[in-house]
Amino acid sequence: MSLALAALSHAPSFGNVDPGGTIFAEINEALTEVRSFVDDFAPDVTVIFGPDHFNGVLYTMMPPFAIGAQAVGVGDYGTGEGPLPVDSDVARQLHALTLAQGIDISRSERLEVDHGVMQPLEFLFGAGFARPFVPVFVNAIGKPLTPMARIRLMGEALGRAAQQLDKRVLLVASGGLSHNPPIPEYDGAPEPVQQRLVTYAPSKEDRAAREGKIIEGIQAIADGRASSSPLNEEWDQKLLKVFRSGSLSDVDGWDNDEFIAEGGSAAHEMRSWIAAFSALSTAGDYSMVIDRYWPVKTWGAGFGITAAIPQNS
C-alpha cells in the first residue's frame, strides 16, 4: 500500500487558445515531468477528484460528492466519450469504506464525467487510455455548497479507505485556480435555464456549437477584443501555500461566498485539490516534488501542476 498525488488544472483553452510567450511550452514541459513521476510511481489504480460543469451531473440529483463505480465520458472539448475503464470493484470498496467512517458519499453506477475529470487523465495517460481509475465527483458549482471542512473530512476518509486496499493508489486532483467564467445558477433563473440545468442532453452538433462559442470568447480575451475579470494570483498563492504546508485544516474556516469573491465563479473547483491533498495527508507529512504555477492572463486563469509523496516513502 502506498499513496502519491498529482494535482493539475484543466482548461477548455488548453490547445485551443495560445496563452502567449513561452507559457504553453512550459506547461507541456511540466506535464512531461508529472507523467514521468506517475510512471515511476506505477499506480495499480488512480483515484481522481474532479468537478463537473453541468454536463454530466445536473439538478436531477446534485450530491456534494459521489464515487463512480461505472462511468462514461460526455466527450466535451475533445476528451474521451463513452464507457471508461473504471475499476468498479475498487470503487465500490472505497464507497463502503468511506461510508463506514460516517461520510455521506453517494455511489453512481453511471457517472457522467466531462473535461473536469477527463482532461487531466488524458494529460497523464493519453487519449483512449486503458488504465483503471475511480472517479470522485466533487461538486463545485451546483449551489448550495457544503462547508469547506466537509471536503477535507471526505478527503481524509477516502485516503484512509485507499490505504486499506493493499494497492499503489495515485490520487489525482483536477481543478482550476482563480478563474471567472459565466456560470448559471438555478435559483432565480428563467425557466429555460432551470430546465437546462436539470435535463441537459445536447446533440453532438449543439455541444460543438456551444464549445465553439466559448473558445471564441476566450480567444477574444486573449486578443484584447474582450475583457474578463482578472485572475487573482495572490489568492492562488494563498491556496498553494496551504497545500505546500500540509496545514489543510486551515481551509475549515474559509467562507464559500468569500471564496468566489476572491477566486471567481469557478474557484470552488479547488475543492478537488483540498480533497486529494487531505487524502494524501492520511499517510503522514508529505513533500512536494513538482510545484509549478502560471498566472495565464490570456486565459483569465491561474494554472497549476503539482505532485507530492509522503515523506516516509
Active site (catalytic) residues: 115, 179
Q: Are strands 133-138 and 45-50 parallel, antiparallel or unpaired?
A: parallel
CB atoms within 10 A of CB 71: 25
Instruction: List, as one string, the DSSP characters of 107-122.
Output: EESSEEE-HHHHHHHH
Sheet with 111-113: strands ordered across: 81-83, 71-74, 111-113
Under DSSP, the state recorded for 61 is S
Under DSSP, the state recorded for 2 is E
CA distances from 115 to 29, 74, 119 (A): 21, 8, 5
C-alpha grid cell, residue 123: 494529460
Helix (H, G, I), strand (E, B) or coil at 67: strand
